[in-house]
Structure 1
Amino acid sequence: MVQQITKGIKISVKTKYNGSSYRNNKNYHIFVYVITIENTSTKTVKLTDRYWNIFDSLNRSEIVSGEGVVGQTPVLKPQDVYTYSSGCFLESNMGAMKGFYTMIDIENFTQFKVIIPTFQLSNQTILN
């Protein structure tokens, strides 16, 4: 698990290899990640947007950005915790992701970025 705190917002990430799938004449490796967002600050915040940079070991990268996460824009009061899971498909069996969330302080509408630390995506069998 990797963790990072930005402006009192703690991001924790767990990953899991979830097998492979053949589609569009290509074999893809499926990775699942679970992200926990914990508001350790004294402010109420709202997650408005996400930005991902996804890399694979074949030197390919993909940028994914958009509103919210998994169709939601959660509001976190102090000490609230929000957890969600999502996934990605890579052509290689190793990769990494990093990015940030854009959040707003509900009290004064100040926008800020919360860093999502770089985390590895790998098929456990290749690590043994």
Structure 2
Amino acid sequence: MYRKVTHDIEVTVEPSFMPEHSSPEKRRFVWAYEIEIRNLGPDTVRLRNRHWMITDANGEIEEVRGAGVVGEQPTLEPGSSFRYTSGCPLATSSGIMVGDYEMERETGERFFVDIPAFSLDLPNHRPTVN
């Protein structure tokens, strides 16, 4: 599990390889990742946007930006959390993802929360530094 706290917002990530959706012979490797966003601070916040940098083992980078996550812009009151699962296909058997969320306080102030870098590696394979 990967974890990072920024501005009193904790983000944890648990990636897992999805062999049933992957086709190594077609150079398609798919991972799911479960993310929990927990508000450790005193202010109610809303997740507005996401930004991902996805790098495969060949150094190819895909940048993804968009509103919310999985079609939602969740509001997190102090002490609450939001959990979701999404996925990522790669053309290589390993990679790394890192990103951030743009959050908004009730006052309208916006700020960024880091998503910890996490590795996408096949099970039972020695992890590589990507």
Query: TM-score, normalization: structure 1?
Result: 0.93
Question: What is the alpha-carbon distance in structure 1 between the residues aligned to residue 27 and residue 2 of structure 2?
Answer: 28
Mapping 1:1-128, distance limit 5 Å: 1-19=1-19, 20-21=22-23, 26-106=26-106, 108-127=107-126
Q: What are the superposed Cα offsets for residues 57-106 of structure 1, whole Å, 9 maximum, x if unpaired? A: 01111000000000000000000010000000001010000000000001
Gaps of 5+ in 2: none
Paired amino acid for 1:27: R
The alignment-based identity, stated in percent, is: 35
- Runs of 4+ residues over 6 Å off in structure 1: none
Question: What is the alpha-carbon distance in structure 1 between the residues aligned to residue 31 and residue 110 of structure 2?
Answer: 30
Question: What is the alpha-carbon distance in structure 1 between the residues aligned to residue 65 and residue 47 of structure 2?
Answer: 13
**Greater fraction of residues in strand:** 1
Query: TM-score, normalization: structure 2?
Result: 0.92
Count of residues in Structure 1 that have an aligned counterpart in Structure 2: 125
Deviation at residue 126 of structure 1 after TM alignment: 1.8
Question: What is the alpha-carbon distance in structure 2 between the residues aligned to residue 5 and residue 97 of structure 1?
Answer: 17
Deviation at residue 125 of structure 1 after TM alignment: 2.8
Name the stretch that deviates more: 25-34 or 50-59.
25-34
Question: What is the alpha-carbon distance in structure 2 between the residues aligned to residue 117 and residue 17 of structure 1?
Answer: 18
Paired amino acid for 1:21: S
